């Protein structure tokens, strides 16, 4: 006898063809958990990051997954207030959609995209007693206070924390991306200790895998196969420490004929970074735009060392999604992060590189020089990175943990029905 169909709604502002990392992850999650007795729907916005299109079908069937895309407001998208308004409008549309279809959904999985989206779970629980899971990619309002956008004493921050407390307390499960993030949530809300799980993000290890630079068309196209190459790929946001990287590039400026820095991506800090580079008259840094998904296996491997950075005060608040693709690519890794970050221990456990505290540009520069002079050590660290990825961060490992969470909630729901 087959199981009764179990219906899941995933709410996340981004979804392909949008290039935002959370959208890519949600697509893979939704596709992977869709099976005979699990019916998955996704509610998202229209593309915001995609550079090929700003419009996608309102309703789309992707395999067994049904996707509904609502209109995306674009009011002053580069300004904080504009993003807040756009996020609030998406929240309202998600609430209306959930209200309309609430009788058909057994479980909601709600992310922090936008930042306060998980409150939707609390509201539908209060109104309709719907079960929900909080999937926390970034921890708000901690990000806002750490960036000094608002002080901790601000009434908005206080209200935000109270709503978080209620949301977490009434959730069936809380999924976080790191041990440090789990610690911060338990400090704020100790009573959820029995329903918080660490499930790391992942990368597609079948698509992203080590490629030697001499066999890599991307490296050859930009001349990266002729120099020792240091790659930063991804968002250049306020949560990332770009300053230490630029200072390291400045220290190594006299090696411009043999050492090349490559920044791929964009973000709020990009223009300030370019201005500083011009002011320092650095000619050892190459800027490239975000690459198409099909080109990532080549752009991510067109280097000798990959960089992961986290700004001071961001430990446990954000988790860099580039970690997983970096390890999958089999590169040696240089990490810049605060002392408390889980990344420091990860690099030690994986033996895939070294970590440096924020501001230690000299230590970072010396690390690059050491690997440049010792290619066997660089290759060994890259090999270790790939092995650690295969043992800890594949999609199958993560998806099985998500399925365990769903199965446990489903089992508890069945017991509740029996005991009524």
Q: Alpha-carbon torsion 144, 149, 150, 151, what sign?
A: positive
d(CA 381, CA 384): 5
Can you give the pLDDT at residue 82? Answer: 65
pTM of the model: 0.92
The pair of structure tokens assigned to 197 is 């799980």
d(CA 307, CA 213): 17
Q: Which residues of the chain have pLDDT under 70?
A: 1-3, 49-54, 72-82, 417, 419-420
**Could you tell me if 25 and 33 are in contact, meaning their C-beta atoms sit under 8 angstroms apart?**
no
d(CA 173, CA 163): 16
Can you give the pLDDT at residue 52? Answer: 60
Domains of the chain: residue spans and CATH: 6-202+394-419 (3.40.50.2000), 213-392 (3.40.50.2000)
The DSSP symbol for 3 reads: P
* Cα angle 197, 198, 203; round to 5: 135
* Strands in 71-146 per DSSP E: 107-111, 131-135
SS3 380: helix
Which pairing describes strands 65-70 and 38-45: parallel, antiparallel, or unpaired? parallel
Chain centroid offset of residue 185 CA: 18
Report the DSSP beta bridge partners of residue 262.
231, 286
């Amino acid at each position: 006898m087959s199981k009764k169909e179990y219906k899941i709604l995933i709410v996340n502002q981004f979804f392909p063809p949008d290039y935002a990392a959370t959208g890519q992850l949600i697509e893979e999650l939704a596709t992977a958990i869709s099976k005979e007795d699990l019916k998955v729907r996704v509610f998202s916005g229209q593309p915001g990051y995609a550079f090929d299109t700003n419009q996608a079908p309102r309703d789309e069937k992707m395999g067994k997954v049904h996707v509904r895309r609502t209109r995306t407001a674009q009011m002053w998208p580069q300004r904080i207030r504009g993003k807040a308004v756009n996020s609030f409008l998406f929240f309202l549309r998600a609430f209306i959609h959930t209200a309309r279809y609430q009788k058909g959904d057994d479980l909601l999985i709600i992310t922090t995209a936008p930042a306060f989206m998980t409150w939707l779970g609390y509201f539908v629980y209060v109104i309709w007693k719907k079960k929900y899971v909080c999937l926390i990619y970034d921890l708000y309002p901690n990000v806002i206070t750490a960036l000094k956008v608002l002080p901790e004493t601000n009434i908005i921050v206080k209200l935000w924390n109270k709503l978080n407390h209620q949301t977490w307390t009434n959730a069936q499960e809380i999924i976080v991306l790191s041990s440090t993030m789990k610690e911060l949530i338990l400090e704020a809300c100790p009573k959820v200790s029995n329903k918080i799980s660490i499930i790391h993000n992942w990368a597609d290890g079948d698509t992203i895998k080590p490629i030697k630079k001499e066999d890599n068309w991307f490296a050859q196209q930009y001349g990266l196969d002729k120099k020792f190459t240091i790659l930063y790929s991804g968002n250049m946001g306020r949560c990332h420490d770009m300053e230490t990287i630029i200072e390291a590039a400045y220290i190594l400026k006299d090696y411009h004929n043999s050492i090349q820095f490559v920044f791929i991506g964009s973000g709020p800090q990009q223009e300030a970074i370019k201005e500083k580079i011009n002011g320092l008259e650095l000619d050892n840094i190459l800027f490239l735009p975000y690459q198409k998904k099909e080109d990532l296996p080549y752009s991510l491997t067109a280097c000798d060392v990959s960089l992961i950075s986290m700004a001071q005060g961001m430990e446990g608040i954000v988790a860099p999604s580039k970690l997983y693709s970096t390890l999958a690519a089999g590169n040696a890794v240089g990490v810049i992060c605060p002392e408390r970050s889980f990344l420091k221990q990860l690099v030690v456990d994986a033996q895939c590189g070294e970590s440096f505290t924020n501001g230690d540009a000299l230590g970072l520069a010396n690390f690059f020089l050491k690997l440049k002079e010792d290619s066997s050590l660089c290759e060994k660290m890259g090999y270790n990175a790939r092995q650690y990825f295969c043992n800890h961060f594949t999609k199958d490992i993560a998806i099985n943990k998500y399925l365990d969470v769903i199965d446990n909630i489903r089992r508890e729901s069945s017991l509740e029905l029996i005991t009524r």
